[in-house]
Amino acid sequence: MRLRCLSAALALAASGLADAGETVKILVQSSPLAGSQYYAVAEVWPQIRLGDRLSLIREPANRHDRQAVRVEWQGRQLGYVPRAENRAVARALDDGERLEARVSRLRDDPDPWRRIEFEVFLIL
């Protein structure tokens, strides 16, 4: 609901840009990738680049977290939006909001929580 209200207010404010054919992106959150040690990160690490687009896929039937949002890169599962940070993204996806996710930081770090960070944008 909060993102929907924000989206409506920003859409109104950005209508001039939209009329000019420009897309408006609002940063919603920046997060580390959760669970990457269990998925394809090690295999695709050399190929991932800053700015690469990521897919956000809802998993409402996930037995560990009903608000789960899977993160994929080129069809390969990399992990999840962290549980502590996934409610707004899950709700926005459920409400049909246009979201975009991109790789914002890559570190060659042994701690899987520090290897990949991503940003989520609301598209107006």
Residue 24 near residue 10 (C-beta atoms within 8 A): yes
**What is d(CA 24, CA 62) in angstroms, rounded to the nearest whole number?**
32
- At 53 the three-state DSSP class reads strand
Average pLDDT over the chain reads: 89
**What is d(CA 68, CA 98) in angstroms, rounded to the nearest whole number?**
17
Distances (CA, A) of 71 to 8, 12, 95, 119: 26, 30, 18, 11
Structure tokens given for 115: 């290897």
pLDDT of residue 4: 56
pTM of the model: 0.83
Report all structural domains of the chain as residue ranges with CATH numbers, in order of start: 2-123 (3.30.70.2330)
Split at pLDDT 50, 70, 90, the class of 22 is: confident
Residue 19 near residue 77 (C-beta atoms within 8 A): no
> What are the backbone angles phi and psi of residue 103, rounded to the nearest 5°?
-65, 125
For residue range 73-108, list pLDDT tens digits in order.
999 999 999 999 999 999 999 999 999 999 999 999
Question: Cα 8 from chain centroid?
Answer: 20
